Amino acid sequence: MNRREFLAAATAAPLAAQAQGAGDRLHGRELFVDTKWIESLRGASLRMHAPVARGAALKLDRSWEGAFSAYFTMLRVESGFRAYYRGVPNSGADGRGDEVTCYAESRDGIEWTKPSQNVLLKEQPPFSHNFTPFIDPRPGVPEGERFKALAGTSRSGLMAFVSGDGLRWRRWREAPVLPPAKVTRYDSQNLAFWSASEGRYVLYFRTFKDVPGKGRIRWVSRTTSDDFANWAEPVEMRFLTRTGQPAPPDHLYTNQTSAYFRAPHIYVAIAARFLPGRQVLTPEEAQAIRVDPGYFKDTSDAIMMTTRGGDSYQRTFLETFLRPGLGMGNWVSRTNYPALNLLQTGPDEMSLYVNRNYGQPTAHLARYSLRLDGLASLHADYEGGEMTTRPFVVNGSGLDINYSTSAAGSIRVQVEDAQGAAVSGFSFDDCREIIGDQISRAVTWRGTDLAALRNKTVRLRFKLHDADLFSWHVA
């Protein structure tokens, strides 16, 4: 399937079906972004993969957009793709009257265009400061409320907006769904979505936390709702390493948590990490790139973390996910902030979008690409390695994998019982050797599949040689 065929097929599919994704917590697609289903590793390791720069996707060149445009949200819509963002050409107070909400569109997620008038919301301060929409796939949602959004600051609280087409918006209620706060919160991108795995709306939003030795840190809190109107008492998120220990605290400017479209029970957060006071440019270098004088004494990059609901993120990888990269313009304050949502832009590709050159005349949205499911992988070198899953009950007939090997490399899979013994007919010797590079490949054992083991408790043991495994799926 080429890119054009993929886009035609994806556009024809119902939005709700795309949003629901495939599988559940036990038998949905599993990625290697966390250790949920990993019981043991031997000679193999988890490897995070760097996004590949694809250049500028969207110039912020309208008079009402400019250097301080920010807080991008990327959505899949019937006609292709749509980007929503704040437009404002100059620095100033949050939520002021000259901020507007803008949009751009694309058929393929690569080439983006804007109508001559691309402002959706204006003269409604402070809501254009951080207007963040999503498409609601909850069964029974009225057609005129299929698109929802939250926006606001501490002083206003979070106001809910709804729309039938994502272009004409109205306030859902006259009062905010989350009330004004006496402490600072909501002042960056606050995002909600319907979670099919939890059966409710979830909201991740900006708060602050006093951390010993670090001072006041930009933090993330979470709340949930059954009806989008009444929200539970918020809880502060915890940040844990793969061993369950507290992760080093970082300023997280935007959290960008979203349900991964091929495994919606896994929420992936490509978060903006802010390092206040970590100055890289000299005043002369800052002047040369024409960055606003108030925006070159900090720097930022992006990290990846995940959650499956509840009050904790797992930071499986503590190193950065996206480095600032070449060019002085990438080493200033509040640049390199990822947009909300990964988008599938081809049969084997997904795209990440990043706010670049903030506070500069060259401000733009850049596109990066990754292999489908390719945020991280289980990796083994030439000497080989193994990974054994935790036990699970088989509720499907087949095992599908997304993988890549060298010409000399290979993958085999053994099915074991709860005690760790190979199941008859499903040993490594019974498994057909897998060589190549495919997004989807069925694993078979001497012509049979997992249907014979339905409702039995098993483990899978993957044996890799010079190979990467990006995801596995029992269905």
pLDDT digits (tens, 9 = 90+) for 65-112: 999 999 999 999 999 999 999 999 999 999 999 999 999 999 999 999
**Is 4's pLDDT higher than 70?**
no
Tell me what pLDDT residue 448 has: 85
**Is 356's pLDDT higher than 60?**
yes
Query: In this structure, how many other beta carbons lie within 10 angstroms of the beta carbon of residue 312?
Result: 18
Return the C-alpha torsion angle 83, 86, 91, 92, nearest 10.
-170
Distance CA 197, CA 208 (A): 28
Given the DSSP bridges, would you call strands 251-254 and 257-260 parallel, antiparallel or unpaired? unpaired
**Is 3's pLDDT higher than 80?**
no
Tell me what pLDDT residue 27 has: 53
Place of tokens 């990290």: 303
Tell me what pLDDT residue 19 has: 33
Phi, psi of 11 (to 5 degrees): -65, -35
Q: DSSP E strands: which ranges in 347-395?
A: 349-356, 364-371, 376-380, 385-389, 392-393
Distance CA 51, CA 453 (A): 38
Q: What single string gives the DSSP state of each residue in 440-468?
A: EEEE-BTTB-GGGGTT-EEEEEEEEEEEE
Query: What's the rounded mean pLDDT across residues 338-363?
Result: 98
Instruction: Please say whether the beta carbons of 129 and 119 come within 8 A.
Output: no
Residue 13 CB partners (closer than 8 Å, separation 6+):
none
Tell me what pLDDT residue 2 has: 58
What's CA 371's distance to the chain center, in Å? Answer: 14
pLDDT in tens, 254-313: 999 999 999 999 999 999 999 999 999 999 999 999 999 999 999 999 999 999 999 999
**Is 206's pLDDT higher than 60?**
yes
Run of H or E residues at 18: helix 15-20
Distance CA 130, CA 119 (A): 14
Least confident of 186-190, 291-295, 441-445, 446-450: 446-450
Given the DSSP bridges, would you call strands 238-241 and 312-315 parallel, antiparallel or unpaired? parallel
Tell me what pLDDT residue 86 has: 98
Identify the structural domains of the chain with CATH numbers, from first to last. 52-371 (2.115.10.20), 381-474 (2.60.290)
Residue 400 CB partners (closer than 8 Å, separation 6+):
440, 441, 442, 443, 472, 473, 474, 475
Q: Three-state SS for 330?
A: helix
Tell me what pLDDT residue 447 has: 80
Share of the chain above pLDDT 90, in %: 93
Query: In this structure, how many other beta carbons lie within 10 angstroms of the beta carbon of residue 20?
Result: 17
Tell me what pLDDT residue 263 has: 96
Tell me what pLDDT residue 1 has: 61
Instruction: Please say whether the beta carbons of 148 and 178 come within 8 A.
Output: no
Of the pLDDT bands very low, low, confident and very high (cuts 50, 70, 90), residue 418 is confident
**Is 252's pLDDT higher than 80?**
yes
Query: What's the rounded mean pLDDT across residues 231-238?
Result: 97
Query: In this structure, how many other beta carbons lie within 10 angstroms of the beta carbon of residue 212?
Result: 6
Of the pLDDT bands very low, low, confident and very high (cuts 50, 70, 90), residue 23 is very low
pLDDT in tens, 310-337: 999 999 999 999 999 999 999 999 999 9
What average pLDDT does the chain have? 93
Alpha helices (H) in 249-328, listed in sequence order: 283-289
Residue 161 CB partners (closer than 8 Å, separation 6+):
121, 127, 131, 133, 148, 149, 150, 151, 169, 170, 171, 172
pTM of the predicted protein model: 0.94
**Is 346's pLDDT higher than 50?**
yes
Collect contacts of 202-209 with beta carbons under 8 A, ≥24 apart.
202/267, 202/309, 203/150, 203/178, 203/231, 204/237, 204/255, 204/257, 204/269, 205/158, 205/234, 206/254, 206/255, 207/183, 207/234, 207/236, 208/183, 208/184, 209/236, 209/249
What's CA 256's distance to the chain center, in Å? Answer: 6
Query: What's the rounded mean pLDDT across residues 189-198?
Result: 97
How far apart, in Å, are the Cα atoms of 354 and each of 8, 57, 75, 250, 400?
A: 26, 9, 14, 19, 31
